Structure formats: structure tokens, C-alpha cells
Structure 1
Amino acid sequence: MSTVDKQAVGEKFSPDAMEHARVMTWKAVQQIADAIRPGMRESEANARAKAILQVLGMERIWHPVIVRIGENTLRTFRERSADDPVLGSNDIFFVDLGVVWSQHEGDAGATFVTGDDPEMIRCAEDVETIHDEVAEHWRSTGCSGIALYDYAAARAETYGWRLNVDIKGHRVSDFPHAIYKAGDLGEFAAAPAAGLWVLEIQIAHPTRPFGAFYEDLLA
């Protein structure tokens, strides 16, 4: 598949609609995070997330709603959670949403902390910082997706974390983007276009059993 084909869009694609999907998905992430409290099981948090999406008027979910708690923050999108952990009063969790709004795919995720564990707080903050630095590197250099994730690994190491190299971003578009499926961003040898690729960053603590996740549209 050529570079052009990998960045193709459908007839109903609209940059404004993509931005609307982005804004609405971030609104949902924050509302869901605000609703998750210590004492909730992961399954309960996922159910609460789906209820909030319904209230916000989503069209549909295009990838499963994911809330990961504690050690499950180390697991990738395709891995099942271990058991059904309860969120503690000094704990870490992330929210990962893939939702269709106005026939376009929103995809956003962020990490949150309960309590005052300094390493968990730093992990949640650093994953967003690393994401933003990598996105700025893309804006300033126009580098390939492959080079982008090489840079991400170096930045994670600088901050003292391990980058999960199995998480390398992906395409989005007007729904369903699978028609224009292009492989992982981290394997894309050309410069990714704005408004079509999601930059995913997942990091892990070098010794403790938790990590953090952040993703947003490259724009």
C-alpha cells in the first residue's frame, strides 16, 4: 500500500468534524475520570464510562471502552485485564476511548491518580509531557512515524521510564477507518499528515508494577 493510500480518507471526511470528535472525546475522558472513585471495581468504572458516553450523545463506540487500574495500567489495548481490581485510595488508572461523533472517530486517553504517591503522580504527568514533546518534534521536523517512536523511546528513557514499544499509534478518519487501515504510526516510513494519526504513548515504571498512558490526535 502506498503512502497516499495509507493516508486516504472517505467521501464524508471533514477536518472540522475530526476536531469535533477530538473535542467531544476529551470531554468524555474528563467526565469519566471525574466519576471514577476509590472503591470502584474496574468493571464498574467501565460501565460508568459507557453510561456517560450515552448521556453525551455518542453515535457509537468504535473500539472497546477501556479503564485500567493499578497493575493493569501495564497492559496493552489488546491484552485482557487481570481480574477485576478495585481502585485504591492511593492508586493509578487510565481511560482510553474510541468514540464516533458526527461520523468521525475520536480517540483519546489519559492517566489519573488517586492519593499522593509521588511516583504515580510523576508517571501520570510525564506520560503527557512525553507525548507533547513527541508531537512537537513531529511538528518541527516533519519526521517519519518510525523516527517519531525512536524519539519517544529516547524521551521516555530520559525521564526514567520504559516506553512500551508494542503501542505505536494508528490511523483514524471518518468511520470506519478500517477501510483506510494503514498499520501502526510507529511503522509508517513517511511523514504523517495532520488530523489522521493518533500518537499513543504508554510508559512503565522500571521496577514497580504500574504505568501510564496518553494519546491524542496529531494535529
Structure 2
Amino acid sequence: RITVALFCNASGTDLRKPIVIARAKRPRCFGKTFQPTLYTEYFSNTKAWMTSVIFQEIIRTFDRNLRFQGRQCILLLDNASSHAVTGMQLTNLKLHFLPPCTTSSIQPLDAGIIRAFKAHYRCQLVQLYVNCAEEGCIQTVDLYQALKMIRLAWRNVTASTVKNCCHHTGILPCDNAVTATATDTDDDEDDMTLAEIQQLIRRLDPAAGPNAAAEYVSTDREVETMQELDDDTIV
């Protein structure tokens, strides 16, 4: 299992390279020549969790890139323990933390962007499993393959999906006519991806239920991706 962090702007025109945190610093599947940074930003630790050390490194790099480009940015974040940035000096990046316990309702990525990414990724994953089954190979995926699929899945998330999620959460001003059109389009995109996953799953398991694809896309929603602070640390 790996952790993936995603960055994008509100218009969906700037999908930053996905950030991947895995357990191994240099897995054997990378070989001597494979460079993970061609596909994602790559970090590692024993639990494959986001930590404040990794997060601060990401933020410093982002701020440096913005400064080089002459751009200013405000980054919306939830109050996760790994997002602690006490004492950091940033010149072109402002961090804005959302109110506690509101991530599911006003964080755009949590309003459907992450789900769309997971659907595109898992569609590729099930297709890989189907190919392995038909060719009589072991149904497995290594990190080398996963990073390539992550990049493609993120590229397949449309700008309309991003904008619609930002409208839905109130991050962008809402135009009812535009939002209604975007919602219909995004629903069609989601339905097509889920339908494709459902067909692939049924090729592996003809007895799969009608909601197998939706359940599969959301299967790891509650998995921990960072260490929660205990009471002593908070104090």
C-alpha cells in the first residue's frame, strides 16, 4: 500500500505531479535505471504515511517553484497532524487551514476529485488483473507499474470535474447554469468509469453485485495515511 497526495488549482488547469509515499526507498522493481520522479514526486518511510517532515519539504519546494515563476498562491489544507508547518518562512505561498471537521463538506479534493482519480486508477488496475488472468500470469502489480498508472489516472481527471467540485464546496462562486451543466457532464464521466470497472470485475467474477465497482473505488476511504497526534503531543 502507498499514500498519494494530490495538488491542483481551482480551474483544473494545473494538476501538479502526484506525490507518492511508499515504504521502500529504492524498490527492486525500479531496477538501476527507472526514475520515479518521471511520473511522481517520490518519498518513503516505514509506514508509507505522510509526515510533517515530508510535508514541509513538499511545501518548501512548491514555494520555491512559485517564486521562480513569479506567482502567488493560497493553498487550502485541512488540519491533519502532518500539516504542521510551525516556523516555516514562505515567500510566495500562503497556507489557509480549513475549520476543523469540515473536510468532507468544503475541501474540493474530498468532494469528488480524489474519488475520480481513484476510479481512473482502479480501472487500470482491474484491467491489469484481467490481462494477467487471461494470460495465466500471477495477478499482481508492482510499484513500478503503480506509479505509471497513478500519473495516467491523475491526467484523466478532467478540468470540469475539478471546477465542479470547487463550485459545489463554495470555493468558486456558483453560476447555476454553468454548475448544472458541469454536474451533468461529471456524472456522465463518473458513470462511464464505474461502468467500465463493473464490466471488468464481472469478467473476473461473474457473480459480482451491481455495486461492486462503487464499493471497490471507495474501499480504502477510511485507511489511515498519517499518524494522529496523542493528547500529550497536542498539549
TM-score, normalised by the number of residues in structure 1 = 0.31
Highest relative contact order (Cα 8 Å, sep 6+), 1 or 2?
1
TM-score, normalised by the number of residues in structure 2 = 0.29
**Whose Rg is larger?**
2
Q: Which has the higher helix share?
A: 2
